[in-house]
Amino acid sequence: MRSVTSGARHLVSIADLDGSEIVRILDHGDRYWSLADEPIKKLTSLRGRTVINLFYENSTRTRTSFELAAKRLSAEAINISSSSASTSKGESLLDTGRNLQAMHPDAIVVRHSFGGAAAMLAKTASYAVINAGDGQHEHPTQALLDAATIRRHKGKVEGLEVAIVGDIQHSRVARSNILCLSKLGARVRLVAPMTLMPRGIELIGGDLTRERVRICHRLEEGLDGADVVMMLRVQHERFDGEAPRFPNTRELSRTFGLSERTLQFAKPDAIVMHPGPINRGVEVSPQVADGPRAVILQQVSWGVAIRMAILERAILGGPGGQPDA
């Protein structure tokens, strides 16, 4: 999807990208992976550009890594959070977008509890819109950094068996990952009790995901032979007055939690992922979260590199970073 600013591109949904475009973003992110080891982590490709982080929901990793990514490319980064935004005074998201547009930003990174918020802004924006999570709909930059992490550890994504385990129902991370992993040629098992599995989720990407996604209601079956195990938190904040979906947390943890014992169902070299925030001892045991198979903190590191690539793509249309020297 292109915005009216020449060269600028929105990133609203993985559904808008094809496999080769995803690979281009991952390759672009690879360039920035090693920058973290440099004493001076600064490039100049976005000098003079402005990125606004407009976050209506809580965030630690995503907001910080977008801010760091913008700053490492020399852009001005401005943060607006729900408590300081004028929506708390009754302003609509679209009006906020129009007002921010009047200040001529180059990109707005938006997180909102409404699924469709980023698409709504993108419709009329003259700046690039990047979706940092819209309700239960999508979280495309998370899926891209997850794919980068998998590629780094496994050398490829195609042909891998990836198990996504936990609260699929309320997870935008799961939805973006199902699309991204399928487009990259992986097979995806979705593992959850019936009450946390949205009906028809395997059809989210039409025939492609119908062929590539398998639904499992038992952890042992879902993990059997998996190359990658991606655990999800129960997203209580999205339950919104619904009836309880499982008897209690201890029961859920016993039947769907990842421990050293249950991890043995997966392949011996399987990696363990989690988008964070982790609820230790609930969906993943501390031994596994801190163990040798976990790549959870590397996902966070990849987050900065991939978001640098995404900001350059959004504002410049593609790779444009030149070393400062």
Site residues (vs ligand NCD, CB under 6 A) = 61-62, 133, 139, 142, 172-173, 233, 235, 275-276
Query: Could you tell me if 143 and 304 are in contact, meaning their C-beta atoms sit under 8 angstroms apart?
Result: no
Q: Please count the other Cβ atoms lying within 10 Å of the Cβ belonging to residue 57.
A: 18
Q: What 3-state class would DSSP assign to 280?
A: strand
CB of 159 to ligand NCD, least distance (A): 26
CB of 40 to ligand NCD, least distance (A): 27
Q: Please identify, using beta-carbon distances, which residue of 45 and 57 lies nearer to ligand NCD.
A: 57
Catalytic residue among 24, 31, 41, 61: 61
CB of 275 to ligand NCD, least distance (A): 4
Residue 62 a catalytic site member: yes
Q: Please identify, using beta-carbon distances, which residue of 206 and 286 lies nearer to ligand NCD.
A: 286
Q: Please identify, using beta-carbon distances, which residue of 304 and 316 lies nearer to ligand NCD.
A: 304
CA distance 48 to 91: 29
CA distance 248 to 280: 16
Q: Please identify, using beta-carbon distances, which residue of 50 and 299 lies nearer to ligand NCD.
A: 299
Q: Please identify, using beta-carbon distances, which residue of 62 and 149 lies nearer to ligand NCD.
A: 62
Cβ-based burial of 200 (10 A; exposed 0-12, middle 13-18, buried ≥19): exposed
Q: Please identify, using beta-carbon distances, which residue of 29 and 275 lies nearer to ligand NCD.
A: 275
Residue 274 a catalytic site member: no
CA distance 119 to 123: 6
Query: Could you tell me if 307 and 31 are in contact, meaning their C-beta atoms sit under 8 angstroms apart?
Result: no
Helices H / strands E in the chain, number of each: 12, 9
Where does 66-170 show beta strands of DSSP type E?
76-81, 107-112, 128-134, 161-165
CB of 294 to ligand NCD, least distance (A): 15
Residue 217 a catalytic site member: no
Query: Could you tell me if 10 and 138 are in contact, meaning their C-beta atoms sit under 8 angstroms apart?
Result: no
Query: Could you tell me if 89 and 78 are in contact, meaning their C-beta atoms sit under 8 angstroms apart?
Result: no
CB of 132 to ligand NCD, least distance (A): 8
CA distance 202 to 41: 41
Q: Please identify, using beta-carbon distances, which residue of 77 and 316 lies nearer to ligand NCD.
A: 77
Catalytic residue among 62, 96, 141, 262: 62
Catalytic residue among 139, 154, 189, 212: 139
The four Cα atoms 301, 310, 237, 52 give a dihedral, to 10 degrees, of: 110
CB of 209 to ligand NCD, least distance (A): 20
Residue 41 a catalytic site member: no
CA distance 55 to 241: 23
Catalytic residue among 28, 63, 111, 293: 111
CB of 253 to ligand NCD, least distance (A): 16
The four Cα atoms 184, 59, 303, 174 give a dihedral, to 10 degrees, of: -20
Residue 44 a catalytic site member: no
What separation in angstroms does the CA of 17 have from each of 118, 289, 308? 16, 31, 18
* Catalytic positions: 61-62, 89, 111, 139
